[in-house]
Chain A
Amino acid sequence: MNVDANGNALISLEQVKVSFPVYQGGSRSLKKRVLFHGSAGRIGRDASDQMVVEALQDVSFALKVGERLALIGSNGAGKTTLLRAIAGIYEPTQGLVITRGRVSPMFDISVGIDADLSGFDNIRLRALLLGLSAAEIEQRLPEIVEFTELGDYLEMPLRTYSAGMMLRLSFAVATCFAPEILLMDEWILSGDAHFMSKAETRIRNFVDRASVMVLASHNLDLCRRWCSLGIWLERGNIRAFGPIDSVVQQYQAYVAAVDAR
């Protein structure tokens, strides 16, 4: 999967491996570490004996303009880790992650939320976090306000908002500038039906205009509706990659077989 040959890939992963060292008890303590090494007389030895969780192994794929990818798999399969690797939060232990264009991650509604600030101030803060300049924010503010449909609530501190209202606000900001790459985790499902259909229209709209989306979800119906491609992850490995319907089918067949046992 060569990026230079495949110039219009917005996301490209090559044999990405992400492993987490597990720090527990003593390895979190500098004192214990220093004392241990002092008596053993060797430094840096036990670093290699450390317990490691392999969260992603040998993950390779590329996404082109207009593709919408769903990540499916059981809990702990590595969906969120993969999203974070694409977002550049976890730099892979091995392999290469290449993204082109502005990334808009929506993993947690509450990031950059200051509960005591008003809705308007939080919109500004989130937009700054996503890399917009002050002028861009003011220019897009009316559109964001309209999309949230929160009206006068935007004058109120965010403490008073419900989870669904916060979701509207975050979604409106995260999608106000048509990011080239939109990454979403589960929680997007918590909106009401009206909001969800609006969100879907909006995503379709800018996926049509040169963007890609990656969505991690357990809701297979939603994955089918929103996405064109699917990846089935299991224990950090790609079990299947292809058109969403066939991946969902394979996954369902597997789940049914496991349940039948």
Chain B
Amino acid sequence: MLEQRERGSRLDQAATDFASAVRLWPLWMRLGWNDILHRYRRSTLGPFWSTASMAVTVMALSLVYSQILGLPVRKFMPYVCAGLIVWNFISAVMTDAGSLFSGSESYIKQIRLPYTLYVCRFMFGKVMLLIHELPILIVVLLYFSTWPGAVVLCVIPGFALLVVNGLLVSLTIGMISARFRDVPRMIASLLQVLFLITPIIWMPGLLGPRQFVAGYNPFFHLIEIVRAPLLGTPPTQQTIWVSLAITAANALAAVMLFVRFRARIAYWI
């Protein structure tokens, strides 16, 4: 909670908001964890339900599509598995960010907490769910004995970048959706198309001379920056630069929106 309030500049207030949210990490970790428990309460598998459903999806898609595309399963299944786990994370962030603020109405209207605290709570939950899906990838990699080697360490900065983007995008989407209630539905339909046109269950090499379809797709690079090291190759220079550019653009949008409209969020919900 903010101890004392004076009218500072909007930028100061936004920065204070974020700084106090970071300081309150025990609170958002607890709330994020409760969200997960709450969602899977009284089910036997708990959060591992998402692990189970992901495992079935990976099996089914990679077996069918390796046949269709004529690719060896031992190469294709790790690729699909890593790609799907990352995509699942991105898509969950973008879908659920719509209710980030409107779903926390009971908190926002009852107690003053930094708004970015809700963003941290949200992302913490999403990262936890992603961690629950990692065992599938490990099993797949072990089964086909395609261990990635030391390159796998590149996944740490890559994933950190993805999480930063998640924080920024969920803040942006959360704010816009609090004001315009049809935005979450637009995003949901957009994501369906994106899943099909992004190289997740197919490889960019299959595009032949039209590689640019993947190259111009920002989601391809955000997936690739995590997927490539998991599969034993460092991400390309292009992927790294595009990912950094996306992060900068996201940061600009989120910061501008938040600085301008932070105080209005309570009025919107």
List the interface of chain A (C-beta within 8 A of B). 20-21, 23, 28-31, 33, 84, 87-91, 96-103, 105, 107-108, 110-112, 114, 116-117, 125, 128-131, 133-134
Verify A105–B176 contact, CB threshold 8 A: no
Pair B111/A28 contact, Cβ less than 8 Å: no
- Measured CA separation A99–B6 after assembly (Å): 9
* Contact residues of B between 1 and 51, Cβ < 8 Å to A: 1-7, 24, 26-27, 30-31, 34, 37-38, 41
Instruction: Please tell me which stretch of B86-94, B101-109, B215-223 contacts chain A, meaning at least 4 of its Cβ atoms lie within 8 angstroms of it.
Output: B101-109
Question: Which listed residue (A91, A97, A110) contacts B266, Cβ 8 A?
Answer: A91
Indicate if the CB atoms of B1 and A131 lie closer than 8 Å. yes
**Which 9 pairs between the two chains have the least Cβ-Cβ distance?**
A30-B180, A111-B110, A88-B112, A91-B263, A131-B1, A128-B27, A108-B110, A28-B181, A29-B182
Q: Which residue of A has the minimal Cβ distance to B1?
A: A131
Distance in angstroms between the alpha carbons of A20 and B268 in the assembled complex: 9
Q: Is the CB of A30 within 8 A of B4?
A: no
Once the chains are docked, how many angstroms separate the CA of A103 from the CA of B38?
29
B21 → chain A closest CB, angstroms: 13
In the complex the two chains form, is A21's CB within 8 Å of B267's CB? yes
Q: Between A and B, how many residue pairs show CB distances below 8 Å?
A: 88
Contact digits for B103-140, partner A, Cβ 8 Å, 1 yes 0 no: 00011111111000000000000000000000000000
Is B183 located at the chain interface by the 8 A CB criterion?
A: yes
Q: Which of B5, B182, B268 contacts A31 (CB 8 A)?
A: B182
> In the complex, what residue of chain B is closest to A126 when comparing beta carbons?
B111
Other-chain contact of B7, A96, A101, A125 (Cβ < 8 Å): A96
Does chain A have a CB within 8 A of B56?
no
User: Could you tell me if A117 and B34 are in contact, using CB atoms closer than 8 angstroms?
Assistant: yes
Known: A28-B181, A116-B41, A128-B27. A107 touches B110 (CB 8 A): yes
**B186 contacts chain A at the CB level, 8 A cutoff:** yes
CB-contact partner of B111 in A31, A89, A97, A114, under 8 A: A89
Distance, CA A20 to CA B109, complexed state (A):
14
Q: Which residues of A contact B108 (CB under 8 A)?
A: 89
Closest to B183 in A: A30
Q: In whole angstroms, what is the CA distance A23 to B108 when docked? A: 18
The listed residue with most A CB atoms (<10 A of its CB), out of B38, B180, B266, is B180
Q: Which residues of A contact B41 (CB under 8 A)?
A: 116
CA distance A98 to B4 in the complex (A): 7
Interchain CA distance A107-B108 in the complex, whole Å: 12
Bound: A129/B24 CA distance, A: 9
Find chain B residues with CB under 8 A from A91 CB: 263, 266
Q: Point out the residues of chain A lying under 8 angstroms from B27, CB to CB.
A: 128-129
Minimal beta-carbon separation of B142 from chain A (angstroms): 36
Find out whether the CB atom of B182 lies under 8 angstroms from the CB atom of A129: no
Query: Are B181 and A29 in contact, with the CB atoms below 8 A?
Result: yes
A221 to B269, CA, bound (A): 35
Q: Bound complex: CA of A134 vs CA of B266, how far in Å?
A: 28
Would A98 and B267 count as touching, CB distance under 8 A? no
Min CB distance A102 to B, Å, is 7
List chain B residues, Cβ under 8 A from A29.
Answer: 180-182
Q: What is the chain B residue whose CB lies nearest that of A97?
A: B5
Give the chain A neighbours of B266 by CB distance below 8 A. 84, 89-91
Measured CB to CB, the nearest residue on chain A to B28 is A128
**Max chain B C-beta neighbours (<10 A), residue from A91, A103, A125, A128:** A91
Q: Which residues of A contact B268 (CB under 8 A)?
A: 23
Complex interface: chain B residues within 8 A of A110 (CB)? 106
Q: Are B110 and A30 in contact (CB under 8 A)?
A: no
CA of A130 to CA of B6, assembled, Å: 20
Q: B31: shortest Cβ distance to chain A, in Å?
A: 8
Among B24, B38, B106, B182, the residue within 8 A (CB) of A30 is B182
- B7 proximity list for chain A (CB < 8 A): 96
In Å, the complex CA distance between A252 and B59 comes to 74
The B152-170 residues at the A interface (CB cut-off 8 A) are none
- Chain A residue, CB-CB nearest to B112: A88
Q: Give the chain B neighbours of A96 by CB distance below 8 A.
A: 7
A129 and B113: CB pair below 8 A? yes
Please measure, in the bound complex, the distance between the C-alpha atom of A238 and the C-alpha atom of B104, giving whole angstroms.
Answer: 31
User: Is B109 a contact of A84 with CB atoms below 8 Å?
Assistant: yes
CB distance from A31 to the nearest CB of B (A): 6
Quick check: A128 and B106 within 8 Å, CB to CB? no
17 further A-B pairs in the complex, CB-CB below 8 A; given A29-B182, A107-B109: A23-B268, A30-B182, A84-B109, A84-B266, A88-B112, A89-B108, A96-B7, A97-B5, A101-B4, A108-B109, A112-B107, A114-B38, A125-B30, A129-B113, A130-B111, A131-B1, A134-B26
Pick the residue among B5, B31, B106, B267 that contacts A88 (CB under 8 A).
B5
How far, in angstroms, from A97 to B2 measured CA to CA in the complex? 13
Q: Would you give the shortest CB distance from A190 to chain B, in whole angstroms?
A: 17
A105 to B111, CA, bound (A): 6
